[in-house]
Amino acid sequence: MTDALMTLSGVSKRYTRGKQTIRIFDRLDMAIPRQDFVAIMGPSGSGKTTLLNMLGGIDRPSSGEISFDGKRIDNLSEGRLASFRATNLGFVFQFYNLMPMLTAAQNVELPLLLTKFNPKQRRERVNAALAVVNLADRARHKPSELSGGQQQRVAIARAIVSDPKLLLCDEPTGDLDRETAGEILGMLQTLNRDLGKTVVIVTHDPEAARFAKRTIHLDKGHFTEKDLGA
C-alpha cells in the first residue's frame, strides 16, 4: 500500500498465562494511509484495544514489524518510544483520563511540557487547541466542573495540541450519551477532514463506526471485513 502512515507486517501477539499461551493475533497485516479515518470494531476480547496499544507503541508485538512513516517503531527503546508518542501521536480514552487537579488549559498543556516551546508558545497552542474543540471559554475550569462531553473535548484538545499526525481513540464515545457521542465523533471527523489528521478509533458501536471512512472488523485475531465505510 502506498503512502501508508502506519503499517503492520506479520504482527503476532501472544500472552503466556501459567502454562497456557493465549494467541491474540497471528500474522496480522494492516496499513493505515495518511489522512485515513478508520474504525476498528469487534466483539469483546477480539483484540481491538491490544491492536490500538501496539499502534500507539505502548505494547509490543510478539513477532512482526510495525512501522510509522516508514520507520520501524516496534524495536525502539522505551525512552525513544515515549518520545515517538509525544511527537507523533495523540490519544483519546473512553473515560477522558484528565488530571482532576489541573484546569482544562493545564490538562491540554501537559504534552507540551515535553517540548521545547516557551511558555508563550505553549499558551498560544493551548488556546488554539481549546478553540478547535469550542472550549476556549472553559479554559480555567477543572474537569469536575465540566460535563462528560466537555471533558472528552478537553481530552481531544490535549491529543491534538502537539500537532500529531495520528489520533488513536479507544472507545471515545463509550461513556457518553448518543447526542454527545455524535458531537465528539463529528469533531474527530472535522479533525480528519479539515486538519488532515489520521484517525483510528476502536469502538463496538456501529453508529460510531459510521463516522469513519472505513471499518475494520477484528474477530479471533483476524480481520474479517474491510473498507465498509469508505
| Residue 21 β-bridge partners | 16
Give the residue, chosen from 53, 62, 63, 180, that forms a contact with another protein under the rule CB under 8 A.
53
Question: Which residues in 141-160 contact another protein (CB under 8 A)?
Answer: 158
* Cβ-based nearer residue to another protein, 31 or 59: 59
- Report the distance separating Cα 179 and Cα 181, nearest Å: 5
- Of 106, 127, 180, 189, the residue at the interface with another protein (CB under 8 A) is 106
Number of residues that bind another protein (CB under 8 A): 29
Cell 499558551, residue located: 123
> Among 17-25, 27-35, 89-97, 216-224, which window interacts with another protein (CB under 8 A)?
89-97
18 part of the interface to another protein, by CB under 8 A: no
User: Which stretches does DSSP call E strand in the chain?
Assistant: 4-17, 20-33, 37-41, 63-68, 71-72, 89-92, 166-170, 198-202, 214-219, 222-225
Quote the radius of gyration of the chain (alpha carbons, Å). Answer: 17
Which whole-number Å values give the CA distances from 84 to 22, 68, 76, in the listed order?
A: 29, 10, 9
Nearer to another protein, 146 or 211 (CB): 146
Q: Distance (Å, rounded) from C-alpha 107 to C-alpha 155?
A: 8
Residue 47 in contact with another protein, rule: CB under 8 A: no
C-alpha to C-alpha distance for 31 and 138, rounded to whole angstroms: 38
Pick between residue 3 and residue 79 the one whose CB is nearest to another protein. 79
Of 95, 195, 206, 226, the residue at the interface with another protein (CB under 8 A) is 95
Residues binding another protein (CB under 8 A): 49-50, 53, 56, 58-59, 78-79, 82-83, 85-87, 91, 93, 95, 97, 99-102, 106, 109-111, 113-114, 122, 158
